[in-house]
Amino acid sequence: MNKVVNNADEAVEGIKDGMTLLLGGFGLCGIPENLISALVKKGVKQLTCISNNAGVDDFGIGLMLQKKQVKKMISSYVGENAEFERQLLSGELEVDLIPQGTLATRCMAAGYGMPAVFTPAGYGTEVAEGKETRVFGDKTYLLEHAFDADYALVKAWKGDTHGNLIFKATARNFNPLMAMAGKYTIAEVEELVPAGMLDPDQIHTPGIYVHCIFEGKNYEKRIEQRTVRQKK
């Protein structure tokens, strides 16, 4: 039951070129910073990355984009990354932009063992091109397939040695769903405690979904766009 590894480098040992990864977080909140740094250091390439966003130029998945490690991005919001834009427009990067709710639901479907779901989001737009549709009641729905990811990389506030996780605030937006959806889930946590120390009623992701866990270091807690009032 002890799933603890020493560090991020050890945690990503099994990740190979060409794999598909789920990366948790929302904006720059709750992203697996240590695991991303370990992937940059490892130098794996031709990755398909499924994430709500693509980080910024010098942080998050943006670091992997700079090193040309990402072959394809499957995301909802990518507006804060100039290098992402450059690679997209030059044809260096494949991009699949999907509605944010659909991204979450395809993660959920994978975690629940469902092969696909029907959703109305995207019908009548380019998102629907080539996809099966069905009419339920008076509304048309698209068939969207569950994600098939080799690894899920998530970041939690607290975790224990059995892999039980507690997320904090906005970090809950995608991390819990992605933790369920990966074939192999790696969790980095700000604080790692012995099994039995977490209140069972506060746990967001049960340890059954987590395969290895470690305590991360040196979290920056960046803000994508800082907006402040001018002094009067």
Q: Domains along the chain? A: 8-215 (3.40.1080.10)
pLDDT of residue 111: 95
pLDDT of residue 105: 96
Q: For residue 226, is pLDDT > 80?
A: no
- Cβ–Cβ under 8 Å, residues 187 and 213: yes
Average pLDDT, the chain: 93
Amino acid of residue 227: T
pLDDT digits (tens, 9 = 90+) for 160-185: 999 999 999 999 999 999 999 999 99
Sign of CA dihedral 50, 19, 3, 60: negative
pLDDT of residue 38: 97
Please, which pLDDT band fits residue 27 given cuts at 50, 70 and 90?
Answer: confident
Q: For residue 223, is pLDDT > 80?
A: no
pTM: 0.92
Q: Which residue has the tokens 């995207």?
A: 122
- Cβ–Cβ under 8 Å, residues 57 and 81: yes
Nearest to 154 by CA among 226, 207, 81, 93: 207
